[in-house]
Amino acid sequence: MAKKELTIDLARCQGHARCWAIAPETFEIDEEGYGHVIDGREASFDEENVRKAIKNCPERSILIREV
Ligand code: F3S
């Protein structure tokens, strides 16, 4: 089975912070208000919560890639 990698495309993120509100165990917000995947969570995350965050990000900047 392919491994998955979670990323936020910072070229698209506009700082809506819904990722963090929905899945704070996986996402954090930097001092400028942009979302990031918490270090170490890129390949280890609650997929159900992350999929909710993906649906709720207005910029569609959260991505799960198969690597
Ligand atoms: Fe950015 Fe979307 Fe989160 S715009 S801060 S990735 S909800």
Q: Could you tell me if the CB of 62 is within 6 A of ligand 1?
A: yes
Q: Could you tell me if the CB of 23 is within 6 A of ligand 1?
A: no
Q: Kindly indicate the confidence band of residue 35, based on its pLDDT and cuts at 50, 70 and 90.
A: very high
Q: What is the pLDDT of residue 2?
A: 81
Residue 3: CB partners within 8 Å, gap ≥ 6? 43, 66, 67
May I ask the CATH class of domain 4-66?
Answer: alpha beta
State ipTM: 0.98
Written as one letter, the residue type at 56 is N
Summarize pLDDT for 37-58 with one digit per residue, the tens. Answer: 999 999 999 999 999 999 999 9
Ligand 1 centroid – CA 60 distance (Å): 8
Q: CA–CA separation, 67 vs 52, rounded Å?
A: 21
Q: Could you tell me if the CB of 17 is within 6 A of ligand 1?
A: yes
Where do the structural domains in the chain lie, given as residue ranges? 4-66
Percent pLDDT > 70 in the chain is 99
